[in-house]
Amino acid sequence: MILVFGKTGQVATELQRQANVTALGRDDADLSDPDACAAAIAAHRPDVVINAAAYTAVDAAEENEEHATIINAKAPGAMASTCADLGIPFVHVSTDYVFDGSGTKPWQETDMTAPLNAYGRSKLAGEQAISLSGGQWAVLRTSWVFSAHGGNFVKSMLRLAESRDHLTIVADQVGGPTPAADIAATLLTMAQAMQGGQRGGLYHYGGQPHVSWADFARAIFATAGRSVTVEDIPTSGYPTPAQRPANSRLDGAKLLADFGIAPPDWQKGLARVLQELA
C-alpha cells in the first residue's frame, strides 16, 4: 500500500488519479502536528510513503516562517524517521527554491544551496531532516508546477485572459515548467524501484525546454488560442514580499541515470492540461 500525505494539491491529486493510493488530507494528518503524521504512518503500516503535501504560500511564508518550517521541515523529518524505524521507503517533493538562482547553468544536486526566502529555507530544512533519518529516502526537487487543478501559473494566465488582452510578465526569471502529472508518475516509479531495493537520494526533475515566465505565458495563450499580448518586464517591475530565484533550471541527468526518467516536455503537458480544462 502506498500512503500519500496530501489530498487536494496538484501532485497529490495526480497521484490519486494514477495509482491506488491511500491519500491523507489535513483532517487525517495535519502537517502542523508532526507527531500526528508519524502516528498515521505507524497506524497504516504502508509499503512506501510519498509526501506530496507542503506549505507552498511563498509570500505568506515571509511572515509565517515558523509555521512553514513545522509543515515543510519538522513534519517530513518525523515522517522519514518513522519510515526508517519501520524499514519502508520515504519519497518527498522539494523545490528549486533551495538555491539562490544565480548564473544560467542548470542546478545539479551537488551544487551549494542558499535559499533567498523563508519558503526555500523551510524546504531546505526539510531535506536536511530527511537525510538525517537514517532510512531509505528520496527527495525530488522540482519547479514551476502546473496542472488542471489547484492554483498555478497556467490557470492564473487563463483567468486574466478572460478580461485582459495585454499583460506584463516577468522575463528575467528562467526555469522549467513541470506538469504535476509527470511529477506524480515519477514519484510512483521511484517508490516502486525503491521497494525493489533501488537506492534513493537527492534528485532534480524539471520541465524542458527552459523558458522565462513571459515566454511560458505566450505559449499558454498560443496553445489555448487566446489573443493576449505579453510585454516583458524585469523582476523589479513586479515586486513581491519573497525574493524569487532568477535561475530555476534543474539538471535531470542523475534521475535519468539512476531511474531512467527523462525530463518532461512541458509543451506536451501544457496541451494535455488545456485540453482537460476545455
Q: Which residues of the chain have pLDDT under 50?
A: none
Query: How confident is the model at residue 111, as a pLDDT?
Result: 98
The structure's pTM equals 0.96
For 141-185, write each residue's pLDDT tens digit. Answer: 999 999 999 999 999 999 999 999 999 999 999 999 999 999 999
Q: Give the pLDDT score at 226.
A: 94
Q: In whole angstroms, how far apart are CA 185 and each of 90, 168, 216, 251?
A: 16, 34, 23, 18
Tell me: the pLDDT tens digits for 121-133? 999 999 999 999 9
Looking at residue 245, its pLDDT comes to: 96
Q: Write down the catalytic residue from 97, 119, 203, 205.
A: 119
The Cα–Cα gap between 1 and 85 comes to: 17
Catalytic site residue 238? no
pLDDT tens for residues 44-60? 999 999 999 999 999 99
pLDDT of 78 = 97
Q: Give the position of cell 531546505.
A: 124
